Amino acid sequence: MSDNKYAWNFSPAPDILLKLSDPYTALVYGKIARFSMMEDRVCKASIGRIARELGMSEDTVSDRIKILEDKRLIEDLTPDLRNIPHKYQLTNRLDKLSAWFDREKSRAAEAGRE
């Protein structure tokens, strides 16, 4: 275990989302991933808490959550709830998206060598 008390105190911003989307979406995804590290693998943090921790407005976080849902990168397990925190779960699409992006990059590199 690291002596650095900050070693695990971070939220990832996946490179693939930074390349194919925007930093805000990547950071919101990362924060949801961070909050999903509990035993049940579900993010139960409110939009307000995510917004405060990222220094964003609640509207920005809500908009980015909608983008992530539309891209099926997260799933809202409680879509009918109103005025209380939802439960979000990561899907496996980010891995698939990263693999696709890597294949396309390799193809482009191969095409450039011909």
Domains and CATH numbers, the chain: 15-113 (1.10.10.10)
CA distance 13 to 7: 16
CA distance 83 to 29: 21
Question: Which of these, 68, 109, 108, 110, lies nearest to 91 by C-alpha position?
Answer: 68
pLDDT digits (tens, 9 = 90+) for 23-71: 999 999 999 999 998 889 999 999 999 999 999 999 999 999 999 999 9
CA distance 21 to 79: 24
Q: pTM surpassing 0.85? A: no
* Secondary structure of residue 2 in the 3-state scheme: coil
pLDDT digits (tens, 9 = 90+) for 66-99: 999 999 999 999 999 998 999 999 999 888 888 8
